[in-house]
Chains A and B, each alone.
Chain A
Amino acid sequence: MSMFQQLMAKPWAADQGKLDDLYAGGASSRLAKKLALRVFLAVVTVLFTLLVTAYGGRMVYEDWRPAPQVNLLWANTLVLILSSAALQWAQYSVRRGQMDAMRVGLLAGGAFTVVFLFGQVLAWRQLAMMVYFDVTNPAIAFFYLITGVHGVHLLGGLVAWGRTVAKVWGDFEVAKVRQSVELCTVYWHFLLLVWLVLFGLLFTGNNLDLLLKLCGIR
């Protein structure tokens, strides 16, 4: 039943009562975890949307100077795509009962993520050493802020990933591991998507004119 139909129900009416009595209750930790991740992703989406909006809002000021481009970000993006793909492989394997392949995928996903984070720190250092570096330039400040917030979310993901990795050796309950791998995969794909948007934003310099006009900001 859709949410809209549920909200239209008249709970005091006898006919509706018969229907409502059929509701079997919803307690299931599997569904709860899935829903919790979705709600959390909604919260994170709001967070990044606000950052992007603030960035766009600042871009329209006349004194906007784009941050110098750090080409290392291309490599980092590739690494993050690989980490997401590795987790997708882990999910594919666990669904088919191929536990060794799942372990490889899981470990590779984590390793690529660590490389990505290391690469981001390297990108920070590169930017800080450029002659154009000026801490009061909002574009540069936003660069550090946005990449930092994204990195912190990946670090949080690594905690969940670590708990999953700890589970996959010895005797383990396949259903539980499977869900953990699935949840990690969703989270990684989501953070990859967020990164692609942020990467586009941070790397386009001052070329978002059309988008800003569409949003009515410029």
Chain B
Amino acid sequence: MAYVAHDASVFAPPAEVGEMELYHPKTWLGKYVWSQDAKVIGIQYAITAIGIGLVALVMSWLIRLQLGFPDSFSFIDPSNYLQFVTLHGMIMVVYLLTALFLGGFGNYLIPLMVGSRDMVFPYVNMVSYWVYLFAVLLLVASFFVPGGPTGAGWTLYPPQAILQGTPGATWGIILMLVSLVFFIIGFTMGGLNYVVTVLQARTRGMTLMRMPLTIWGIFMATVLALLAFPALLVSAIMMLFDLLLGTSFFMPALVSMGQQSEHAGGSPLLFQHLFWFFGHPEVYIVALPAFGIVSDLLSVHARKNIFGYRMMVWAIVAIGGLSFVVWAHHMYVSGMNPYFGFFFATTTLIIAVPTALKVYNWVLTLWHGNIQLTVPMLFAIGFIFAFIHGGLTGLFLGNVTVSVPLSDTMFVVAHFHLVMAVAPIMVVFGAIYHWYPKITGRMLNEGMGKFHFWATFLGTYAIYLPMHYLGFLGVPRRYYAVGGTDFIPASAQSLNAGITIASLLVGAVQLVFLYNLVWSYFKGKPSGGNPWNATTLEWQTADTPPKHGNFGATLPVVYRWAYDYSVPGADQDFIPQNVPAREVART
């Protein structure tokens, strides 16, 4: 870290990135398609991720139609159903949320919020997006190959993932695994950029502890992803070897469909360990950016500094570290050594401490705040609700003795959807309503936004609260049809039908959001440079939307942390990060 003599800094010239050579394209294609501007790349990531996410949304409808009204739809057979479940999970977790938070928000916000002209390696950044797009296209291609996409479940557990009889056991699973390999390669290129930009390209005065929590969340999530994705890469390659070359990393000797397989001696449990060594940090790869962003939304829209900034940073770091030692709580019923269960239950419950700390701090930030119930704020508060509920059921599932009877029931589905689907997506929406004015120069329509929030918030609760009860009844997950089962009362089916109707409605409401995105782009109210009166650097740019290079002729100099809201004695209720003490108007 470079420091200058103290007396020099008072009148120091603004930081200028002499060595960062920006590529200035001359053609439309170079500017908007083969762009090396992190902002454009961020938008490309976001549009692609949301596009493929809509496909996964339609799949969730099809899953719910089958569960709510079994035997009513001839186009959903058991194979299709498993394929929908698999692709819905995989797309939502990896191709939508990971790509949107890190590739989308990361690219757009990191250079702007740390005061940099761009990512440090713009060309690699561009390639990262195109590799991601290629991975998405491979995934889409699996819909059109013989046998269709894989139906192995998003966890892709062997041996069934590559055994005949599982949908998409040849082409589908190959394309899935190859697509993941490319996704990881693309992500690693982007991830190196995010980490190095945060550590190495911050502007004058922007120390680590002056960074907004959004950047802390995205930064730590990127570190997790860089260290966790290799496990998925290794397991994908090993499974491809098993499938294509006849090795036996994961495949034990077994009889499948009356035939003795040619495999022998592989360990399916090894795959599970590798997969969840990636899979659990993946939960926090999605959650940490959401934690960071929601902290900033709450602070800006409650006009109050974030409560316990240092603790918030420490909690992000601690959660990141702990997330690597809890993976086997996904494997309590896998037949592993029971002592492992004890260890992993303990670490899992320890992770509740920094997480709870964050929740308290969010609530305490709202306490006595000047709360503005704007659309981003509504979504931020919605996040707190969903996250607390999902977190509390996590305490149940973290304990081995409670978890075992609830394993593979709808209770698990309700838990992880609340905590890592509804909660992060609330933040995604909040963040889009919050930063859309910076990206386009126009506000999103507030009426449509409020309708979108209430319908989504209440609708998702209508889906997932009753689902816990189905889980208690013992309704299993992943089943195409339960059939006549003594322990499940007939009323469970009525509940399932109700959940389906709610999910169809929630899905349809997202069309209002999409319409709002397009409508406001042309007809929204002009926003000006800083419509929320926020302190962070992205709101202090010379142009809105910011041009290539972000900050005009000189980079901003940072004089304060990101949370100077309602400072006693100051005229305005916010002091931007680039305003020195002598320029703050006081009465």
Contact = CB atoms under 8 A, between A and B. Distances in A.
A150 to B, nearest CB: 13
Contacts of B207: 6, 9, 11, 20, 23
B317 interface: yes
B241 A145 contact: yes
A36 B241 contact: no
Give the 8 A-B residue pairs with the shortest CB-CB distance, closest first.
A141-B247, A11-B561, A47-B230, A25-B15, A25-B204, A27-B17, A32-B120, A11-B209
A54 B234 contact: yes
A145 B238 CA distance: 8
B247 to A, nearest CB: 4
A189 to B, nearest CB: 20
Majority secondary structure, B binding face: loop
Nearest to A23: B207
Interface stretch (B30-38, B132-140, B264-272, B499-507): B264-272
B9 interface: yes
Nearest to B12: A24
B264 A136 contact: yes
Contacts, number: 179
Contact of B3 (A11, A24, A28, A30): A24
A52 to B, nearest CB: 11
B241 A141 contact: yes
B150 interface: no
Contacts of B10: 21
B38 to A, nearest CB: 14
Nearest to A2: B1
B203 A135 contact: no
A22 B6 contact: yes
23 contacts: A6-B207, A11-B210, A12-B561, A18-B6, A21-B205, A23-B1, A24-B12, A27-B17, A28-B200, A29-B20, A29-B120, A32-B200, A35-B196, A36-B120, A36-B196, A43-B227, A54-B270, A61-B265, A136-B248, A138-B247, A138-B249, A141-B248, A149-B237
Contacts of B525: none
A50 B277 contact: yes
B317 A7 contact: yes
A40 B234 CA distance: 16
Interface in A132-151: 135-138, 141-142, 144-145, 149
Contacts of A25: 2, 15, 115, 202-206, 555
A117 to B, nearest CB: 19
Interface in B4-37: 4-6, 9-10, 12, 15, 17-21
Interface string B531-564: 0000000000000000000000001001111011
A6 B210 CA distance: 10
| Contact count band on B | 35 or more
B563 A47 contact: no
Given A27-B19, A28-B200, A10 B310 contact: yes
Contacts of A10: 209, 310
A28 B201 CA distance: 7
A138 B201 contact: no
Interface of A: 1, 6-12, 17-18, 20-32, 35-36, 39-40, 42-44, 46-47, 50-51, 54, 57-58, 61, 63, 135-138, 141-142, 144-145, 149
B335 to A, nearest CB: 15
A54 B247 contact: no
Contact of A43 (B1, B209, B226, B561): B226
Contacts of A46: 227, 230-231
A22 B248 CA distance: 58
B265 A36 contact: no
A6 B20 contact: no
B245 A135 contact: yes
Given A28-B19, A39-B196, A136-B248, A12 B201 contact: no
B226 A36 contact: no
A17 B560 contact: yes
A57 B19 CA distance: 47
For A22, A25, A32, A136, the residue with the greatest tally of chain B CB atoms inside 10 Å of its CB is A25
Contacts of A36: 120-121, 192, 196
